[in-house]
Amino acid sequence: TMLLARRAVKAAVRTNTCRCFSVAQTHLSDRKGLVLGVFEQQEGKDGSLHLTEAAAGFDKSLSGKLSELLKISGPALKKGKSRIFYGIHKDFPCLAVVGLGKSKAGVCGAENWDTSKENIRQAVSAGCRSLQDLEVKHVEVDSCGDAQSAAEGAVLGLFQYDQLKSKKRTKVTAQLHGSADMVGWEKGVMFAEGQNLARLLMEAPANHITPTAFANAIEEKLVPHAERVTINKRSQAWIAEQQMGAFLSVSKGSEEPPVFLELHYNGSPNSKQPPLLLVGKGITFDSGGISLKPSQSMDAMRADMGGAATVCASIVTAAALKLPVNIIGLAPLCENMPSGKATKPGDVITAKNGKTIQVDNTDAEGRLILADALCYGHTFNPRAIVNVATLTGAMDVALGSAATGVFTNSDWLWEQLHKASVVTGDRVWRMPLFQHYTRQVTDSQLADLNNIGKYSRSGGACTAAAFLREFVSAPHWAHLDIAGVMSNKDEIPYLRKGMSGRPTRTLVEFAAGLAHNS
């Protein structure tokens, strides 16, 4: 009889969807769901489950019912997987238990991230999505020992761009279960919402996010922080007055007017503190210009403003967090289109600093608009300069979606960026800035520089970085090539398929670190 009973229960309890008892499952959307964590069983321990503190308390309130169901519902819960139970608690008719992997896994030198934080993000995201699929509208989330990471997993995992669809996913509100670390939770929500803002901008069609619409969207997001933020939307006439010939050469093929977006966040109590300068590539659509791209996957070039999106989203987040640091954000915004007015291969243009550039490939346009923005940015005597751009397909070839490539002339700046990325799990990896690559862009038949390397198929990400270096005199500068991390298929488990908004959280963590680092 006992054996038959256990078999009957096991048949009812499935690995990912456990329908326990005969409690009616109607109106789940009107009630709360709950996400709780469980760690892998530690070696040398007895057969008892290793629940989080919140899960253990919940189990105790049920006289051990949750532990018993987990034991009989199948094999041990694997990292990042969820198991759903119905009707075991009157306040939470729908419960997702998620696998957190090893307890206190900590920083992994081989992976260059904090494994515990990544496991929590992945697991909480899986649990929240499972409940969202059941149309549960309100979810409480176990902090799992790190409320910030849990919040990031929940808010990032639930995001999906469906603004233009008639049928939308269930909107889920996530909140912390209990009051373990409300400060950490709220911080995680702001970090994740920042990345989601970048995802929103990158995913939107190019006819919805033009240069003007992009600038207006960021201005609207900064309205609540008006006392700390100054916004300048510079016109084409201003761009011409600044002698930004490289920027104008890219924009002139499009009917959409260019915008040079300039943001000043004054968060430091010391008004004379040198600012951190963030510069983002803002090509709101990249056809390649006269050097036209292949039509296949050209639609993804709506996200070629990912650098500007992550930079501006980082400043919005810094303002929301009230970080005690001064930040200036620059985003040259335009389209790169073919027309009778467009720049032609072989044309020579003049950048803001007077250097002439032979444009042999109009699809290598990001470095041109960044060149003028970097020259302008030096006028603020910044503490450090970080530019971010979906710059080269070669970066995707080199690192794929595993990490953002970083080219920098400063060991100190690299250390700060790397330290931040270990915390966020949105990794960076240092790339070379050898003179070997500089010689390839300075060897030009008609001008001071060529916008593509002498050997265009070799080291493309490196020659692009070498080109940008020609417009930098600051001792602490870093170029982040985010082409490889622009989108997500299934590589980052807590992000759905689509534009990723990476590395917004790393930029925010980096800025937060600078606030406490002289």
- Residue 462 CB neighbour total at 10 angstroms: 26
Element (H, E) at 147: helix 147-158
327 neighbors 279 (Cβ within 8 angstroms): no
Round the CA-based radius of gyration of the chain to a whole number and report it: 25
Positive or negative, the Cα torsion across 65, 67, 70, 72? negative
* Whole-number Cα distances in Å, 488 to 203, 226, 364, 366, 498: 12, 33, 23, 22, 5
Buried b (16+ CB within 10 A) or exposed e, 321-334: bebebbbbbbbbbb
The dihedral region occupied by 27, where left means phi > 0, alpha psi between -120 and 50, and beta the remainder, is left
310 neighbors 388 (Cβ within 8 angstroms): yes
Strand, helix or coil for residue 435: helix
Element (H, E) at 115: helix 115-133
CA distance 19 to 419: 44
Catalytic residue among 19, 81, 169, 293: 293
- Paired residues of 385 in beta bridges: 277, 477
Q: What is the pLDDT of residue 43?
A: 55
- Asked: is 193-514 a CATH 3.40.630.10 domain? The reply is yes
Q: What is the pLDDT of residue 45?
A: 58
**430: annotated active-site residue:** no
Question: In Å, how far from its chain's centre is CA 444?
Answer: 36
Q: Which two tokens stand for residue 194?
A: 């920042």
Locate the DSSP E strands across 347-455.
Answer: 347-350, 356-359, 384-389, 404-408, 428-430, 449-450
pTM of the shown model:
0.94
Q: What is the pLDDT of residue 457?
A: 77
Domain with CATH 3.40.630.10 in the chain: 193-514
Element (H, E) at 36: strand 32-39
3-state DSSP of 460-487? HHHHHHHHHHCCCCCCCEEEEECCCCCE
449-450, strands of its sheet edge to edge:
347-350, 356-359, 449-450
Say if residue 382 is preceded by a cis peptide, omega within 30 of 0. Answer: no
Per-residue pLDDT of the chain (518 residues; tens, 9 = 90+): 444 445 544 544 443 344 443 333 445 556 799 999 999 876 545 556 799 999 999 999 999 999 999 999 888 899 999 999 999 999 999 999 999 999 889 999 999 999 999 999 999 999 999 999 999 999 999 999 999 999 999 999 999 999 999 999 999 999 999 888 999 999 999 999 999 999 999 999 999 999 999 999 999 999 999 999 999 999 999 999 999 999 999 999 999 999 999 999 999 988 788 999 999 999 999 999 999 999 999 999 999 999 999 999 999 999 999 999 999 999 999 999 999 999 999 999 999 999 999 999 999 999 999 999 999 999 999 999 999 999 999 999 999 999 999 999 999 999 999 999 999 999 999 999 999 999 999 999 999 999 998 877 799 999 999 999 999 999 999 999 999 999 999 999 999 999 999 999 999 999 999 988 75
Q: What is the pLDDT of residue 68?
A: 93
Domain with CATH 3.40.220.10 in the chain: 2-180
Element (H, E) at 52: none
DSSP code for 495: S
- Paired residues of 18 in beta bridges: 13, 85
276 neighbors 325 (Cβ within 8 angstroms): yes
- Asked: is 2-180 a CATH 3.40.50.261 domain? The reply is no
Residues in Cβ contact with 444 at an 8 Å cutoff, skipping those fewer than 6 apart:
358, 450
| Count of H-run helices and E-run strands, the chain | 16, 23
Q: Which two tokens stand for residue 310?
A: 């992550």
Residues in Cβ contact with 332 at an 8 Å cutoff, skipping those fewer than 6 apart:
244, 247, 258, 260, 261, 281, 282, 308, 369, 370, 372, 373
Nearest Cα residue to 480 out of 412, 400, 436, 414:
414
Q: Which two tokens stand for residue 40?
A: 């892998």
Q: What is the pLDDT of residue 8?
A: 46
pLDDT digit string (tens) for 251-309?
999 999 999 999 999 999 887 889 999 999 999 999 999 999 999 999 999 999 999 99
**65: annotated active-site residue:** no
Catalytic residue among 117, 199, 234, 367: 367
CA distance 132 to 171: 8
CA distance 211 to 401: 27
